[in-house]
């Protein structure tokens, strides 16, 4: 019970610390090139697929003032827009596998920027698990974070748009990563440990003046404003959903990172992009994420950084 409680605490916490405006500092971010970032991720400390590391943070790690404490984590995720950072330890979603590929929007829709029909760009994706228990049989909270470049030119320096999706903040026992649906406003499994975890997280976050009123939702305006000359005219969906494309085979592997190795899917893996907004009753598929390269590396887990956008009230 205590183990499950700590896991839930940590999983929910990432949404609180990343949503906070407290201690945020504006930094100069000039962008990066897809080739430079992917090279750093791909070539920094290859893991042995047969002996993958597994980091599981305890409650003491999360609250420690000497190891990646809550203030530092909040400040980094909000204020630092750099795509690559010096080595750091993620407290949640610590175990992952990274991919490179293309973001393609193929269907007509009312949204702007890189949600608009015809948008194509390089993308770096990190598939991860939040509880620190990456193998089948455990409660696992799966996530996909994406870093979209507004170009297919690998060497062009551009500012990126980042997004975050999770299947369930409380974790589930879903056997295959490819059976999950991940959204920017994930549900929280209804159980006693998740309820206790949420209460403790809110209390702790309040003490550090970190929590705001939108702890479980990540806005999508960075994508709808990407490449626009006048971001004020952007039109942004309320929700985005990422899921494995129809026909993706189920691969039986104990660790989700081994499950997602591209060799299991003929060297490529596709995920559908779906969106919806308030007042709509169904999801609309607008495109795909096509993945063709992978990295099981320290650079994926400890250097690749996804900036969390601040909550804004002027999103249309």
Residue-by-residue DSSP string for 211-234 = --S-TT----HHHHTTT-S-GGG-
Alpha-carbon gap, residue 229 to 287, rounded angstroms: 23
Would you place residue 48 in the very low, low, confident or very high pLDDT band (cuts 50, 70, 90)?
very high
Residue of higher predicted confidence among 54 and 203? 54
Given a cut of 90, whether residue 299 has pLDDT beyond it is yes
Q: What is the pLDDT, as a whole number, of residue 157?
A: 98
* Domain spans of the chain, in order of start: 2-302
pLDDT in tens, 64-108: 544 445 555 555 565 678 999 998 877 677 899 999 999 999 999
Residue of higher predicted confidence among 72 and 237? 237
What's the sign of the alpha-carbon dihedral 133, 138, 139, 141?
positive
Q: What is the pLDDT, as a whole number, of residue 61?
A: 55
How much is the mean pLDDT over the chain? Answer: 83
Q: What is the pLDDT, as a whole number, of residue 57?
A: 62
Would you place residue 310 in the very low, low, confident or very high pLDDT band (cuts 50, 70, 90)?
confident
pLDDT in tens, 206-217: 433 443 445 568
Considering the entire predicted model, what is its pTM?
A: 0.85
CB 248 within 8 A of CB 269: yes
Mean pLDDT of 125-137: 91
Given a cut of 90, whether residue 16 has pLDDT beyond it is no
CB 123 within 8 A of CB 304: no
SS3 content of the chain, % helix, strand, coil (to 5): 25, 25, 50
Would you place residue 221 in the very low, low, confident or very high pLDDT band (cuts 50, 70, 90)?
very high
Q: Which of 40-44, 71-75, 186-190, 208-212 is the most confident on average? A: 40-44
Q: What is the pLDDT, as a whole number, of residue 131?
A: 78
Strands 239-244 and 269-276: antiparallel
Mean pLDDT of 229-239: 96
Given a cut of 50, whether residue 191 has pLDDT beyond it is no
């Amino acid at each position: 019970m205590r183990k499950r409680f700590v896991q839930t605490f940590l999983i929910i916490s990432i949404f609180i610390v990343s949503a906070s405006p407290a201690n945020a500092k504006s930094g100069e971010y000039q962008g990066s090139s897809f080739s430079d970032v992917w090279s750093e991720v791909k070539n920094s400390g290859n893991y042995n697929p047969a002996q993958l590391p597994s980091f599981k943070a305890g409650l003491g790690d999360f609250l420690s003032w000497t190891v990646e404490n809550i203030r530092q984590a909040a400040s980094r995720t909000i204020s630092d827009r750099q795509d690559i950072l010096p080595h750091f330890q993620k407290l949640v979603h610590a175990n992952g596998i990274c991919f490179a590929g293309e973001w393609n929007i193929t269907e007509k829709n009312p949204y702007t920027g890189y949600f608009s029909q015809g948008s194509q760009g390089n993308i770096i994706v990190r598939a991860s698990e939040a509880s620190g228990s990456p193998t089948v049989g455990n409660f696992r909270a799966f996530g996909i974070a994406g870093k979209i470049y507004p170009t297919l030119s690998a060497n062009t320096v551009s500012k990126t748009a980042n997004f975050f999706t999770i299947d369930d903040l409380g974790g589930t026992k879903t056997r295959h990563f490819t059976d999950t649906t991940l959204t920017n406003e994930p549900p929280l499994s209804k159980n006693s440990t998740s309820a206790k975890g949420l209460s403790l997280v809110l209390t702790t976050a309040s003490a550090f003046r970190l929590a705001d009123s939108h702890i479980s939702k990540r806005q999508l305006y960075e994508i709808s404003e990407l490449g626009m000359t006048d971001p004020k005219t952007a039109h942004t969906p309320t929700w985005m959903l990422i899921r494995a494309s129809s026909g993706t085979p189920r691969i039986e592997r104990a660790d989700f990172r081994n499950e997602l190795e591209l060799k299991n899917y003929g060297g490529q893996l596709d995920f559908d992009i779906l969106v919806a907004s308030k007042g709509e009753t169904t999801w609309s598929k607008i495109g795909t994420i096509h993945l063709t390269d992978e990295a099981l590396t320290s650079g994926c887990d400890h250097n690749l950084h996804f900036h969390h956008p601040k909550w804004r009230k002027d999103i249309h």
